[in-house]
Structure 1
Amino acid sequence: MNNKYTWLVAIVLLTAACKVTERYQRPELPAAAQYRDHAGTDTNTIAAKPWQEFFTDTLLQQLIARGIRENLDLKMAMQRIVAAQAALKQSKLAFLPDVNANASVKQSRLAFPQGYGLVNNATQYDVGVTASWEADIWGKLRSSKRAAQAALLNTVAAQQAIQSSLVADIASTYYTLLALDQQLLVLQQTLDNRKEDVSSMRDLKASGVVNGAAVVQSEANQYAAAVAIPDVKRQIRETENALSILLALPPGPVVRSVMSAQQLPQDLSTGVPAQLLQYRPDVKAAEYAFRQAFENTNIARTAFYPSLSITAAGGFSSFDFSQWFTNSGLFGNIIGGLTQPVFNKGLNKARLATATARQQEALYNFSKTMLTAGKEVSDALYSLASASEKKESREKQLASLEKAVDFTKELLRYSSATNYTDVLTSEQNLLSAQMGGINDQLQQWLAVIALYRSLGNGD
């Protein structure tokens, strides 16, 4: 009969425990988390590609590999993972009883030693083991374990987010360097050409074709190209230093390729927005943060219910070493008890309200992260499209301006209908278009890199 009641109580407690804590369900994706002007069902995505396949420049690959290996932000993230692993291990061990051993020697007066009568002084020798265990009736320990698992996964996803950003930052800085190198080359070639222009203007002045104003203007045009070169060199130096920091290196030169040798990836599949949860690490981290907050709310709920703990102790206690291992020196006990909170100044209610608010905040953060991810993908797609749209027009503009420079120079030699101002204008327009063309190429690469980053991965 007693066994029946015991089983009945156990069943009631188990049923009640199932209602105390809730089962986790992944939050729904925001309906607005879509790629603007890009609706598709193809699940192929460049996020599934490792960075080694996406960035094919071997020198860039070496830089990225070193960055992943040595970057200090990544190393700090790894230490946060180690700490989270320790917390998870501790949460698993919480299911085991606490066991403590103790040994003591106590000097006392007016003691009552076993079988010797009253004495004035006595020395008591104790050695024993105590153990306590809390039954996880309401699921508090299980929720704590799941919260620790979510925290660990959160730190792992955060580390992946840092790595993904690092790969993109190294690539962006690398291609910025290539663009600056190309601009420096154009400026140096322009400077050489304008030095030749100065020499030609002096010859034409000597022949009476142009006046002294043309010579002075050509010299000023030469200096305009010369003065732009130090600024580009400074930008190159600063960009090299910035890349060195990402690689955990002291500031120094960076071995690199040239822009003309780069080929844009042909496959730029974006997949569908739902895949952001699979590939984008900051979205995964936001979900794990919500999962952790959800389990913390479960833990707060269990505080309203009684806890069952069992405590046991055993060992030897005697006033004489010879009595330790005898029946008279041996002791042992076991205690079971329920503790029900009655009045604790509203602490449990405050904890539950706080946990619930933080869970809702984590849910809002997850939704915001998804919306931001969709926005970044849309921005990258449009930036890439706009850069590609300019390519054909830019090529035609450059071809026309090159012809314009050649024609005005020829007209200046053989016709009085033109002057050096026409040559100056055409050369300045050509230089501006050349620098713009380089920026167009950089914009394409930065858009491709932004798309790769916004879709996730980077592993």
Structure 2
Amino acid sequence: MKTVVPVLVAGMVAAALAGCAAKVGAPPASRLQVPAQWRAPIPEGATALPVDAQWWQGFGDPALAALVTAALANNGDLRLARERIEDYRARVRAAAAAQQPTLSFDTSPARARALSPATGRPYVANAFQAEFQAAYEIDVWGRLANATEAAAATLRGEQASLDAVALSIAANVATGYLNLRGLDAQLELARATLQLRERSRDLARRQFEVGYSSRLEWLQAQAEYDTAAEQVPQLQRQIFEQENALSLLAGASPGPIARGKALAELVPPPVPAGLPSDLLRRRPDIARAEQAIAAASAQLAATRDQLLPTFRLTAAGGIQSTDLSDLLHGPTRLWRLAGTLVAPLYDGGRVQAATDSAAVQRNQALIAYENTVRQAFAETENGLDAITRLREQVVQNDARRATAAETLRIAHNRYANGYAAYLEELDAQRSLYAADVARLQLRARLLAASVDLYRAMGGGWTAPGQ
């Protein structure tokens, strides 16, 4: 009978603990499918070499490299992200501190007037006490360790988020600089075109003055000159705004931006390639989503364990006396040891509701991870396809420009020899100018597409420890 009672008690305790554990739903099944290869065509000249962490150096422009370096050092968003890292480091230390014992000191001098139980007369008594107290919670179920792991995973996620912000800043600076050089080239073309339109206008005016052509042709030439002149301040405004935007990205006040190579001299770095599965290890935003899952899972475990009993050890030791001099020289020494077992019996469903909420947050983190990976696949596919299609557009634009240039040459000769009206030459000039503008825009877009692809491929980022 004596042996049956302990077994029965142990069984009742185990059953009680099992009943205390909060119920947790199973995580949703993953719907993520990683393709075996890219859907978009791999551009010619693609390399399977690892992406260089300083990929912007591949453009060979010292001004671009200096601008990106300044942005990575001084950008305001990056500075805020670095401060958030320090905040989450402190949170990890705070969570880990809960697993350590606590030690405190308490002193409480007191003086009181009371009635003596023996004589019934009032008397005044002094009490001087100094005590050290220590407490330690035994983390039997791992609740404190899970809370610490949740904080640590959140910190790792913030570190990956910092890397994602840095990648975005570098890509935005590179794209902005390339767009700026494209605008510079368009402004140069607009000014050169304006000089041609000025000569055509002056020629049309002279021919009108000598009676060789009509006033209509002169006015048409003047209108075309005015149209070309209008493009110059418009492009100057866009350049001004682009410079200010780049200055802000670099963490500086609005101002001019140093130039390096011209648009025609810039060469995009090699096109990176690789399998879709490699992308899962090369993007910081995916790593951030992974750490969000780890943090949510650890927080779920810590929340669930709040329904389990907690074990706490306390110890105190000190001295006490009714006289201050005795407290310093001959006090009475006191001590106590205690162990506490606390188990919740009824909380109105608070912990179960918190556990359900934590489980939903874990499920949300899983779904967010899937969405992040799919978005990464789409961005990489778009980047690969953009480079291929833009290269094809460049080929077509070259053919278009060659045709427009030959058309202008013939139209000019016909007009100069009196075989055609000035309107034919004017149309040919417009076609050639449009082709030249499209050519510059395509070149800038092709360079920017390389930046987008490097951003989509993770920009050479690798997870810590890899």
Q: Secondary structure of 1:183's match?
A: helix
**Counterpart in 1 of 2:174?**
171
Q: Is the 8 A contact 2:108 2:130 kept in 1?
A: yes
- By how many angstroms is 1:210 displaced? 2.4
Evaluate the alpha carbon distance shift between residue 118 and residue 131 of structure 1 in structure 2; reply closer, same or farther with a 3 A threshold: farther
**Counterpart in 1 of 2:426?**
424
Q: Is the 8 A contact 1:177 1:240 kept in 2?
A: yes
2:33 to 11, 31, 34: 31
**Counterpart in 1 of 2:114?**
110
Evaluate the alpha carbon distance shift between residue 45 and residue 88 of structure 1 in structure 2; reply closer, same or farther with a 3 A threshold: farther
Evaluate the alpha carbon distance shift between residue 204 and residue 154 of structure 1 in structure 2; reply closer, same or farther with a 3 A threshold: same
- By how many angstroms is 1:92 displaced? 2.1
Q: Does 1:129 align with 2:132?
A: yes
Alignment of 1:312-323 (within 5 A): 312-323=315-326
- By how many angstroms is 1:214 displaced? 1.4
RMSD: 3.0
Evaluate the alpha carbon distance shift between residue 388 and residue 29 of structure 1 in structure 2; reply closer, same or farther with a 3 A threshold: farther
Q: State the one-letter code of the partner of 1:243.
A: L
Paired with 2:367 and 2:179, the residues of 1 have a C-alpha distance of 36
**Counterpart in 2 of 1:252?**
255
TM-superposition CA deviations, 1:17-68 (whole Å, max 9, x none): 9xx899xx9x97820566433589x993554543354343110110011101
2:242 to 213, 231, 239: 239
Q: Does 1:101 align with 2:105?
A: yes
1:66 to 66, 70, 82: 70
Q: Secondary structure of 1:96's match?
A: coil
Tell me which moved more, 31-40 or 347-356. 31-40
Evaluate the alpha carbon distance shift between residue 276 and residue 202 of structure 1 in structure 2; reply closer, same or farther with a 3 A threshold: same
**Counterpart in 2 of 1:404?**
407
Tell me which moved more, 30-39 or 245-254. 30-39
Paired with 1:326 and 1:282, the residues of 2 have a C-alpha distance of 65
Structure 1 regions of 5+ residues with no counterpart? none
Q: Is the 8 A contact 2:42 2:384 kept in 1?
A: no
Alignment of 1:107-256 (within 5 A): 107-110=111-114, 120-206=123-209, 208-256=211-259
- By how many angstroms is 1:96 displaced? 1.1
**Counterpart in 2 of 1:439?**
441
Q: Is the 8 A contact 1:144 1:295 kept in 2?
A: yes
Q: Secondary structure of 1:317's match?
A: strand
Q: Is the 8 A contact 1:209 1:413 kept in 2?
A: no
Q: State the one-letter code of the partner of 2:114.
A: L
Alignment of 1:41-80 (within 5 A): 44=48, 47-80=51-84
TM-score by length of 1: 0.89
- By how many angstroms is 1:339 displaced? 0.8
Paired with 1:269 and 1:404, the residues of 2 have a C-alpha distance of 40
TM-score by length of 2: 0.88
Evaluate the alpha carbon distance shift between residue 92 and residue 368 of structure 1 in structure 2; reply closer, same or farther with a 3 A threshold: same
**Counterpart in 1 of 2:453?**
451
2:85 to 81, 99, 105: 81
Q: State the one-letter code of the partner of 2:413.
A: E
Q: Is the 8 A contact 2:134 2:315 kept in 1?
A: yes
Paired with 1:38 and 1:395, the residues of 2 have a C-alpha distance of 22
Q: State the one-letter code of the partner of 2:384.
A: L
2:289 to 268, 272, 286: 286
Paired with 2:134 and 2:331, the residues of 1 have a C-alpha distance of 22
Paired with 2:448 and 2:109, the residues of 1 have a C-alpha distance of 74
Tell me which moved more, 268-277 or 185-194. 268-277
Evaluate the alpha carbon distance shift between residue 189 and residue 85 of structure 1 in structure 2; reply closer, same or farther with a 3 A threshold: same
Q: Secondary structure of 1:324's match?
A: helix
Paired with 2:224 and 2:47, the residues of 1 have a C-alpha distance of 54
**Counterpart in 2 of 1:272?**
275
Evaluate the alpha carbon distance shift between residue 39 and residue 245 of structure 1 in structure 2; reply closer, same or farther with a 3 A threshold: closer
Q: Secondary structure of 2:307's match?
A: coil
Paired with 2:200 and 2:115, the residues of 1 have a C-alpha distance of 115
Paired with 1:451 and 1:269, the residues of 2 have a C-alpha distance of 8
**Counterpart in 1 of 2:464?**
none
Identity rate of aligned residues, in percent?
26
Paired with 2:47 and 2:67, the residues of 1 have a C-alpha distance of 30
Q: Is the 8 A contact 1:44 1:271 kept in 2?
A: yes
Structure 2 regions of 5+ residues with no counterpart? 1-5, 462-466
Q: State the one-letter code of the partner of 1:410.
A: N
Paired with 2:34 and 2:41, the residues of 1 have a C-alpha distance of 13
Q: Is the 8 A contact 1:380 1:451 kept in 2?
A: yes
Paired with 1:425 and 1:327, the residues of 2 have a C-alpha distance of 112
Q: State the one-letter code of the partner of 2:370.
A: S
Evaluate the alpha carbon distance shift between residue 150 and residue 385 of structure 1 in structure 2; reply closer, same or farther with a 3 A threshold: same
Q: Count residues with an aligned counterpart.
A: 441
- By how many angstroms is 1:91 displaced? 2.0
